Homo-oligomer: A and B are copies of this chain.
C-alpha cells in the first residue's frame, strides 16, 4: 500500500507558491510559464520550470525535470512517499511519468482542458487497471497559475501581431522602393 504524505494546508500553500515561482521564472525565460516542485518529508527536494524552448527537448516539461532531479536526490527511479506540486494539470507524458515514478500524491493549479490527463481529458491517476494510483488535489492557487499563463499568451499574441504588422509595412516599403526603381 502506497504511503501518502500528510501535509497541512499551510504547507500545501507554501509548496504551490514555490511551484508558481518556478512558473514565473520560466515565463521570464520566454517559456510557457509552468512550474513544479517535489516534496519529501515536508521539504522540497526538487524544483523545476518548463524549459522546452530553451532545451529543445520533448521531455522538458516542469514535472519531468522535477522528477529527474528527485531521481538523482533519492538515487532511485521510484519516488515513493513524495508529493508533486505543479501549476498546470499534467499532460499524458507527465501523468505517465508520475505513475511510473509511483508518486502517491499530486497537487495541481489550473486545469488544462486541451491536454490534461488527470481530470480534463483522462483520469489516469484513478485507473485501477494500472499498477499504481495517485491521489490528486486540483485547483490549488489556480487563479495565480492561470493568470501567469493568460498574461504569457496575451503577450505572445501581441508580439505576433506586431511582427505581422512590421512585416506587412516592410513589404509595402519594398514594393514602393521597387516601384520607384522601375520609374
Contact = CB atoms under 8 A, between A and B. Distances in A.
Contact of A92 (B59, B68, B99): B99
Nearest to A99: B92
B121 A129 contact: yes
Contacts of A52: 77
B100 A71 contact: no
Contacts of A105: none
Interface in A51-94: 52-53, 55-61, 64, 67-68, 71, 75-79, 91-94
Contacts of A79: 58
Contacts of A92: 92-93, 95-96, 99, 117, 124
A59 B97 contact: yes
B122 A130 contact: no
B93 A97 contact: yes
A131 interface: yes
A112 to B, nearest CB: 11
A127 interface: yes
14 contacts: A55-B77, A56-B75, A56-B76, A58-B79, A61-B100, A92-B93, A92-B124, A93-B94, A93-B96, A93-B100, A94-B96, A95-B96, A121-B129, A121-B130
